[in-house]
């Protein structure tokens, strides 16, 4: 499975055979094999968690929680799915739990930055050449609106949309990650798109 | 396909994630339906808007921090109660009947053993106490099976070091850092021991003795191969205080050019600057600084290299 279609792929692609060997060694308790597996995927995992939660502190917590879960349960991994699919299932469940907790805490729609506080995604520099200050401000405003609109999706729609639109995963891969049918993913994606169209209709 | 089916498939159509058959059916419907064409155009505009969300790039320093915290959390997992539960007592977790049988057997054995040893209990306890508390002054390291190192602490009074190890029994080895046996254990700890905390304690003990070739080689080895960035930073601290021999400078340059942790690379630049200030900036160092001033992925490292080049007039 392609893990990060749109984002830059993790360096050091390892062959399936090597990965299989690493998984087997990690299942036998070899910590350095587990570390190597982590390094194959952790950049993309951190990128995904950053994209989902917005704040580096929370992203670090989710990153750690996900890999600790993988460490504790890797001995139960039976190779029925690809390791990357299984790993992303764990990451997605951790992110979903986080989004649900966040939703419960702030039932009032999307996470709004506190007074004067800057949201992480707004601090990501936009290095595209030729942007004048006015355009840059406009672009920042659009970024903020998109983030708010994504925050209004329910957790499952949000994750499916992130994996499809921003990570570029195929429908089947998302279905495997979510342990659900392609049709369910398709419906979820459709609902997410409809909601985004309502939220961002004036920009489109 | 009717309008409802097509509009439901529109997101996948724009992502190119439909089968060839579905794609053809959609295209056929779209060719004759203005409503659905308008819906597709609206969706394409929405996707263009969504593309304007800035793509998050993972900061190397954040990734390094994430890796270090995970490393520490995994260490705690490996040596905590959870590890005992997961690795040591699986039979009790997964097979209640076997677990009960095992517990019963242990109770019966305990009673039996207690009864059997009752007349000799005093003698046994004396013997065990003596064996456990006795330090081994001159352990035979060649023939001893060492299973782990639990503590390394410098002794400020003697200037030596105290190493507590698990072998056939726990032993404490005490002596000067010039003692080849002490060096042998410490070099083993730096190069091969799997607990990064112990590796860092070892480096603390070795820090002031890097003039010894064996210790220096162990430090350089750790600089190049240790998986934990915190340990590599400790090594850098030790190496930067040493005289700039070729092998030390080579290790620092290696760290600057190849270490994946930006914090380590920054520390390597600082160490190279220290050396260059004392002994002049040699050609390989100048070349590396010049190269990384424009190519390093981390802006702070690039700035450090640029400043260093300006300072040495390169």
Concatenated DSSP letters for B204-228?
HHHGGGTTSHHHHHHHHHHHHH-S-
**Chain B residues closer than 8 Å to A187 by CB:** 8
pLDDT digits (tens, 9 = 90+) for A85-140: 899 999 999 998 998 887 776 554 444 444 444 444 445 554 444 446 666 677 77
Helix, strand or coil, per DSSP, at residue B166: strand
From edge to edge, which strands make up the β-sheet containing B160-166? B148-155, B160-166, B170-175
Contact map slice: B 176-205 vs A, CB within 8 A: 194
pLDDT at A14: 47
- Is the pLDDT reported for residue A12 higher than 70? no
Point out the residues of chain B with pLDDT beneath 70: 79-99, 116-148, 166-171, 192-194, 314
A93 touches chain B (CB under 8 A): no
Say which residue, B149 or A24, is predicted with more confidence: A24
The pTM of this model reads 0.49
pLDDT at B118: 58
A148 touches chain B (CB under 8 A): no
Tokens of B232: 């590599």
User: Which among A194, A173, A175 is positioned nearest to A183, based on CA atoms?
Assistant: A175
**Domains of chain A listed by start with CATH number:** 16-111+130-200 (1.10.1740.10)
User: Which among B233, B182, B238 is positioned nearest to B209, based on CA atoms?
Assistant: B238
**Chain A residues closer than 8 Å to B10 by CB:** 193
Burial class (CB in 10 A: 0-12, 13-18, 19+), B203: buried
pLDDT digits (tens, 9 = 90+) for A150-161: 988 999 999 999
**What is the percent of chain A where pLDDT is above 70?**
75
How does the average pLDDT of chain A come out, rounded? 79
pLDDT at A6: 46
């Amino acid at each position: 499975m392609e893990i990060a279609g749109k984002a830059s792929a993790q360096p050091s692609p390892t062959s399936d055979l090597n990965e299989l060997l690493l998984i087997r060694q990690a299942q036998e308790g070899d910590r350095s094999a587990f570390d190597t597996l982590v390094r194959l995927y952790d950049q993309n995992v951190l990128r995904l968690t950053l994209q989902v939660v917005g704040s580096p502190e929370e992203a670090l917590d989710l990153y750690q929680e996900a890999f600790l879960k993988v460490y504790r349960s890797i001995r139960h991994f039976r190779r029925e799915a690809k390791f990357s699919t299984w790993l992303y299932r764990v990451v997605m469940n951790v992110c979903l739990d986080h989004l649900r907790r966040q939703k419960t805490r702030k039932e009032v729609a999307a996470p709004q930055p506190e007074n004067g506080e800057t949201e992480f995604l707004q601090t990501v520099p936009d290095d595209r050449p030729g942007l004048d200050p006015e355009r840059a401000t406009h672009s920042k405003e659009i970024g903020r609106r998109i983030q708010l609109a994504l925050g209004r999706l329910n957790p499952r729609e949000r994750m499916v949309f992130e994996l499809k639109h921003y990570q570029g995963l195929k429908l089947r891969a998302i279905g495997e990650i979510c342990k659900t049918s392609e049709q369910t993913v398709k419906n979820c994606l459709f609902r997410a798109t409809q909601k985004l169209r309502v939220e961002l209709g004036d920009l489109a | 396909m009717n309008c409802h089916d097509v509009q439901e498939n529109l997101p996948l159509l724009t992502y190119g994630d439909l089968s060839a058959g579905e794609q053809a059916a959609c295209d056929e419907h779209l060719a004759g339906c203005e409503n659905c064409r308008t819906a597709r155009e609206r969706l394409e505009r929405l996707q263009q808007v969504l593309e304007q969300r800035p793509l998050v790039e993972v900061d190397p320093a954040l990734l390094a921090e994430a890796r270090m915290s995970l490393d520490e959390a995994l260490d705690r997992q490996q040596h905590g109660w959870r590890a005992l539960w997961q690795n040591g007592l699986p039979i009790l977790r997964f097979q209640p009947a076997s677990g009960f049988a095992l517990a019963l057997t242990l109770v019966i054995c305990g009673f039996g053993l207690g009864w059997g040893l009752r007349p000799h209990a005093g003698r046994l306890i004396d013997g065990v106490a003596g064996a456990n508390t006795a330090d081994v002054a001159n352990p035979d390291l060649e023939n001893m099976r060492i299973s782990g190192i639990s503590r390394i602490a410098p002794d400020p009074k003697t200037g030596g070091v105290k190493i507590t190890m698990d072998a056939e029994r726990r032993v404490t080895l005490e002596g000067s850092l010039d003692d080849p046996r002490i060096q042998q254990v410490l070099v083993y700890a730096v190069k091969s021991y799997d607990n990064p905390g112990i590796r860092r304690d070892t480096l603390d003990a070795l820090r002031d003795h890097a003039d010894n070739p064996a210790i220096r080689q162990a430090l350089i080895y750790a600089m190049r191969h240790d998986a934990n960035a915190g340990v590599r930073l400790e090594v850098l601290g030790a190496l930067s205080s040493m005289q700039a021999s070729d092998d030390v400078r080579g290790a620092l340059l290696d760290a600057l050019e190849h270490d994946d942790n930006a914090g380590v690379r920054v520390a390597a630049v600082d160490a190279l600057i220290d050396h260059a200030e004392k002994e002049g900036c040699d050609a390989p160092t100048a070349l590396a600084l010049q190269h990384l001033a424009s190519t390093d992925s981390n802006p702070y490292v690039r700035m450090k290299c640029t400043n260093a080049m300006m300072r040495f007039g390169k």
